[in-house]
Amino acid sequence: MTTETTRSAADEHEFVDAVEAWAEKELRPVARKYDLADEYPHEIVEQMKELGLFGATIGEAYGGLGLSAWTYAQIVIKVASVWMAPSGIFNSHLIMAAAIERNGTDAQKAAYLPRMASGEYRGSIGLTEPNAGSDLQAIRTVARRDGEHYVVNGSKTWITNSMHGHGTLLLVKTDPQAEPRHKGMSLLIADKGPGFNVVGKLKKMGYRAIDTCELTFEDYRVPVGQLLGGVEGKGFVQTAGGLELGRINVGARGAGIAEGAFKHALRYAQERDAFGKPIWQHQAIQLKLADMATQVEGAKLLLQQAATKYDRGERCDLEAAMAKLAGSEAGAECAQQAMRIFGGYSYSVEYEIERYYRDAMLMCIGEGTNEILRQVIAKQLVDRHRI
């Protein structure tokens, strides 16, 4: 899918700068407070609405900013380099919006996209279940047709934005006996209502302050008009259709963590003395700084490559997978190296570096684990270079 945009490159650049300035001024001073208290940052959500972040990639026809994927990735990098968690509030929301914009009926687009662009309606992605994450075709949540409604029963877990959001894009089985299994899967635009239960917020090592919850559905009734695209059996394909943009987004969050951790480490290495000189002058620290900076820049270039192809409407499954892998591994590696550079102080919650370390691993798990992604990359390489 190409993101239609009428904005000039200069406008988009200005927007990235504005987000960076906001993140430095408003986000940085409160990040540690919210993270340590594991408290939802309502004031930040209001500011993100003002900035237009909830409509960043939604088309201008629906009141969004219609930004290109590369501009969006740069925004995500800027936010995540200060504090990754808030990027998840608009990221999952925009994945739901993109699915509606790409696959929804005209009525669904008109009903949801303008409210999503303003942030009045904030969404989430309801795919994972206690027994099924990577293997989504194994989900057990069933939607049974009953007249003009579906009746949904089942459970979901790890659903980000589901406590403070207004609804979720819910992956269900409309035909549990279908073979192949994916042909029996559908996506429902599921607004909160009777039978849609948010069981509770999960306690997490990182990505804190943001609501990630377990959900149960007990005879939850959804009007048939909420079936995404109006045709049953397309849910798995519709989910897979969002993976390229989703992977660029998660890669950008990883690259942002990597850049943020690197910048903290670069500063600390010049402030901290050991054996009569700043620690950056010890070769062991220089090697780390050099490797970190190289990983950050490499991840950003892979993201730019994938996003630019996406914006041109070209196939970029391989490039998006590589960008997600490189960005998330850069985040995990740079956060760990920064911990080593900070020495004992890395363990203190007085410094921010421990938060980057706690936040980083998630990027290696979400939007396709890096194990699965390596398999995807290898298969695509053979596919493109078959002898």
Ligand X SMILES: Cc1cc2nc3c(=O)[nH]c(=O)nc-3n(C[C@H](O)[C@H](O)[C@H](O)COP(=O)(O)OP(=O)(O)OC[C@H]3O[C@@H](n4cnc5c(N)ncnc54)[C@H](O)[C@@H]3O)c2cc1C
Which residue numbers are catalytic?
Answer: 367
Q: What is the DSSP letter of 202?
A: P
Burial (Cβ within 10 Å: 0-12, 13-18, ≥19) of residue 124? buried
Q: Of residues 153-182, which lie at the interface with ligand X (CB under 6 A)? A: 158-160
Among 83, 112, 196, 207, binds ligand X (CB under 6 A): 207
How far apart are alpha carbons 168 and 124 in whole angstroms? 5
Q: Which long-range contacts (CB under 8 A, 24 or more apart) does 115-119 make?
A: 116/54, 116/55, 116/58, 116/62, 117/52, 117/54, 117/55, 117/58, 117/62, 117/63, 117/64, 118/49, 118/54, 118/55, 118/63, 119/45, 119/48, 119/49, 119/53, 119/54, 119/55
Across the strands, what pairs with 191? 167
The least CB distance from residue 365 to ligand X, in Å, is: 5
The least CB distance from residue 161 to ligand X, in Å, is: 7
CB of 174 or CB of 212, closer to ligand X = 212
Total residues contacting ligand X (rule CB under 6 A)? 21
Across the strands, what pairs with 223? 149
- For residue 53, state whether it binds ligand X (rule: CB under 6 A): no
Cα–Cα separations (whole angstroms), residue 236 to 66, 186, 242: 25, 7, 10
- Map residues 232-261 to x or -, x wherever contact with ligand X holds by CB under 6 A: ------------------------------
- For residue 133, state whether it binds ligand X (rule: CB under 6 A): yes
CB of 139 or CB of 296, closer to ligand X = 139
Query: Among 58-66, 121-129, 297-305, 322-330, which window interacts with ligand X (CB under 6 A)?
Result: 121-129
Contacts of 88 (CB under 8 A, 6+ apart): 160, 161, 207, 210, 253
The least CB distance from residue 142 to ligand X, in Å, is: 17
Q: Which long-range contacts (CB under 8 A, 24 or more apart) does 342-348 make?
A: 342/264, 342/265, 342/268, 343/272, 345/268
Cα–Cα separations (whole angstroms), residue 53 to 45, 165, 249, 332, 341: 9, 15, 14, 26, 34
Contacts of 314 (CB under 8 A, 6+ apart): none
CB of 199 or CB of 372, closer to ligand X = 372
- For residue 362, state whether it binds ligand X (rule: CB under 6 A): yes
The least CB distance from residue 219 to ligand X, in Å, is: 22
- For residue 128, state whether it binds ligand X (rule: CB under 6 A): yes
- For residue 187, state whether it binds ligand X (rule: CB under 6 A): no
Query: Among 114-122, 127-135, 253-261, 276-284, which window interacts with ligand X (CB under 6 A)?
Result: 127-135
Among 56, 127, 265, 332, binds ligand X (CB under 6 A): 127
- For residue 371, state whether it binds ligand X (rule: CB under 6 A): yes
Among 18, 151, 198, 365, binds ligand X (CB under 6 A): 365
- Map residues 81-100 to x or -, x wherever contact with ligand X holds by CB under 6 A: -----------x--------
Footprint of ligand X (CB under 6 A):
92, 124-128, 133-134, 158-160, 204, 207, 212, 362, 365-366, 369, 371-372, 375
